[in-house]
Amino acid sequence: MRQSLNQSVVDCYSFKSHISFKTNPQFCLTFFSALKDLLNQTMTSFTITTVPTKPFEGQKPGTSGLRKPVKTFIQKDYSENFIQAILDAAQDKTKLVIGGDGRYHNKTVVQTIVQMCAANNVKHVIVGQNGILSTPAVSAVIRKRQTNGGIILTASHNPGGPNGDFGIKFNTSNGGPAPESVTNHIYELSKDLTQYKIVNELTVDVLTLGVQTYNISGNVFTVEIIDSVEDYLGLMREIFDFNTIKSYLSSGSLKILIDAMNGVMGPYVKRILIEELGAPTDSAVRCESLEDFGGHHPDPNLTYAADLVKQLESGVYGFGAAFDGDGDRNMILGKNAFFVTPSDSLAVLADNLDCIPYFKIGGVKGFARSMPTAGAVDLVAKKINKEIFETPTGWKFFGNLMDAQKCSLCGEESFGTGSDHIREKDGLWAVLAWLSVLANTKISVEELLINHWNKYGRNFFTRYDYENCEANPCNEMMTQLETLLSQTDFVGNTFKSGEKEYKVLIADDFSYKDPIDGSLTTKQGIRIIFSDGSRIIFRLSGTGSQGATIRLYVDCYESDSSKFRTDAQQVLRPLIDIALQISKLKEFTGRDAPTVIT
């Protein structure tokens, strides 16, 4: 009886039942009232508790969700308040996806979200097994299963563990991070919360795949536990030619090494790259997902993925890649640790999209990059006559463009690359895209880049991160820069460093008017653009959980092929010196050197 009741509920609520209220209202009314009676007779009814609470300060989502130290999140009612604000802000919340990167506190909050969804009239939650879903997988599941959105538990590339960070992020029904109108609404609601609703006694089995149904005060609540990898794998199979990648990997022409950095990507790498695509088992390392990422900083850059860089330096491998904690970032390396900047990675993929069936069949719309990302992709767009958009930092700004069919491929200098197959950046997608290009062109990563520069010229790029600075001096530095830039004679000034001289052409604080919904986003980074196109950009990070992080971005363009192989730090040194001179960064922060150089 219980089983068949469960089945009927699932048929009617979750999946496409052929009988709708519109076509047969009488049947539906009779059916649901009979169902309710049956439910009350056969299943324990859970009761909803309303818990009085007080607002917490600062529950304002940043560049990508609310990120704070675990210690902040484990305070009584802290997570509950924010989840209530999300559920109150969500216009339609019949069906939601829940999953996270498996970091410390993930398991607890998954249960809390399920308990609160049950109490807040959500009808159906889809949960990754054991609470695990990579960020791109959540986006894929939302889209495939047409849910009203999802809640992702991650602090992305921030360290985990009891002394690390935790985060909660809301994605909407297009699968992408909620736009600022929604996150601002969540924040406003969080400031006035007086209560939240929860079903305390409900504990769901998140390990067993399948559907569970519960009676919540007489209403049916469905919990569906899904395999963490399956939906995402299905999507990758539709996009890429697995046979081509598989035969290239098995031909022995390319030895790869993938570093999952003990984040969420371990199971995805093992299932997709090793089991499906036949890469040897020793071609992936750190595939065990750990709550504290093994004590490491799960950020795939030259500093925090130094082990991978070292391995690639040996010359044994022709391709290396690493991911961040939640699997949306990627770093690409070639033989001898040849580093592909994310700005170049985007441009090379843009120029080779015909190696990927998804684009070959579906065509290429336009491209987009975040403002601090170097303009290499712009040159490809120009050549193949496609539109290019420059957006503020943060993946959420790409969503509208993709929904409006204006953008097929986009990226950020912060190791983010992705396409309109989902609405998040996608680390493993980027690796499969690179493997597709390598399998089709049959040349090395370095040759591919050299060919690209010969065709388009080279955009040199570097980013300096000054992490965990004191907040006040950083804010003062930014204010001082704004004042300087607003002086009428700043544009036209020349700055010297060694032999080099640069004349200021544009100086502003970047703002963006979304071409689809017209929304305006201001103060997105101070830009100083020189007459030769070189740029210096300053931003304060919006993802850090304590203090402040200054990001300094510097790039320039070079068309002289004799200079393509010069070290980027050497080429950009004069611009970096000028940036430090103009900003007085050292005087404000006391920092002699950045924490991370990319």
Catalytic residue among 134, 156, 228, 436: 156
Measured at the CA of 440, the angle between CA 438 and CA 445, to 5 degrees, comes to 20
d(CA 462, CA 569): 7
Using CB under 6 A as the binding rule, whether residue 394 contacts ligand G1P is answered as yes
Give the 3-state secondary structure of residue 310.
helix
CB 220 within 8 A of CB 39: yes
- 239-247, 390-398, 426-434, 470-478 -> range binding ligand G1P (CB under 6 A): 390-398
Site string for ligand G1P, 150-189 (x = CB under 6 A): ------x---------------------------------
Using CB under 6 A as the binding rule, whether residue 412 contacts ligand G1P is answered as yes
Closer Cβ to Zn ion, 541 or 589, answer by number:
541
Phi, psi (5° rounding) for residue 566?
A: -70, 150
Using CB under 6 A as the binding rule, whether residue 414 contacts ligand G1P is answered as yes
Cβ at position 327, least distance to Zn ion in Å = 7
Contact positions with ligand G1P (CB under 6 A) in 345-374? 370
Closer Cβ to ligand G1P, 126 or 133, answer by number:
133
Closer Cβ to ligand G1P, 127 or 260, answer by number:
260
Residues whose CB falls within 8 Å of the CB of residue 174, separated by 6 or more in sequence, listed in order? 142, 143, 399, 402, 403, 423
Cβ at position 55, least distance to ligand G1P in Å = 24
Using CB under 6 A as the binding rule, whether residue 395 contacts ligand G1P is answered as yes
Which pairing describes strands 284-285 and 256-259: parallel, antiparallel, or unpaired? Answer: parallel
Residue position matching structure tokens 């388009």: 456
- The site that binds ligand G1P (CB under 6 A) totals a number of residues, namely 14
Q: How many beta carbons lie within 10 A of that of residue 58, not counting itself?
A: 11
Give the 3-state secondary structure of residue 494.
strand
d(CA 511, CA 507): 12
Helix (H) or strand (E) holding 597, with range, is strand 596-597
Using CB under 6 A as the binding rule, whether residue 426 contacts ligand G1P is answered as no
Answer yes or no: 545 catalytic.
no
Interface residue with Zn ion, options 106, 156, 436, 444 (CB under 5 A): 156
Cβ-in-10-Å burial (0-12, 13-18, 19+) of 593 comes to exposed
Cβ at position 536, least distance to ligand G1P in Å = 16
Which string of b and e fits 175-201 if b means at least 16 CB within 10 Å?
Answer: bbbbbbebbebbbebbeebeebbbbee
CA-nearest of 86, 80, 88 to 49 is: 80
Choose the one of ligand G1P, Zn ion, none that binds residue 278, judging by a C-beta under 5 to 8 angstroms depending on kind.
Answer: none
- 150-158, 196-204, 241-249, 341-349 -> range binding Zn ion (CB under 5 A): 150-158
Using CB under 5 A as the binding rule, whether residue 324 contacts Zn ion is answered as yes
Contact positions with ligand G1P (CB under 6 A) in 34-93? 63-64
Interface residue with Zn ion, options 165, 328, 344, 420 (CB under 5 A): 328
User: In the numeric block, which tokens belong to residue 89?
Assistant: 């802000």
- 112-120, 129-137, 280-288, 393-401 -> range binding ligand G1P (CB under 6 A): 393-401
Which string of b and e fits 302-332 if b means at least 16 CB within 10 Å?
Answer: eebbeebbebbeeeebbbbbbbbbbbbbbbb
Interface residue with Zn ion, options 231, 241, 326, 413 (CB under 5 A): 326
Cβ at position 109, least distance to Zn ion in Å = 17
Cβ at position 63, least distance to ligand G1P in Å = 3
Interface residue with ligand G1P, options 551, 555, 568, 574 (CB under 6 A): 551
Using CB under 5 A as the binding rule, whether residue 101 contacts Zn ion is answered as no
Closer Cβ to ligand G1P, 283 or 545, answer by number:
545
Closer Cβ to ligand G1P, 147 or 393, answer by number:
393
Residues 385, 386, 390, 395: is their CA dihedral positive or negative? negative
Using CB under 5 A as the binding rule, whether residue 424 contacts Zn ion is answered as no
Residues 579, 584, 589, 591: is their CA dihedral positive or negative? positive
Q: What residue ranges in 217-295 does DSSP mark as E strands?
A: 219-226, 256-259, 284-285
Site string for ligand G1P, 522-541 (x = CB under 6 A): -------------------x
The residues annotated as belonging to the active site are: 156
- The residues binding Zn ion (CB under 5 A) are 156, 324, 326, 328
Rule CB under 6 A: which residues touch ligand G1P?
63-64, 156, 370, 393-395, 412, 414, 416, 541-543, 551
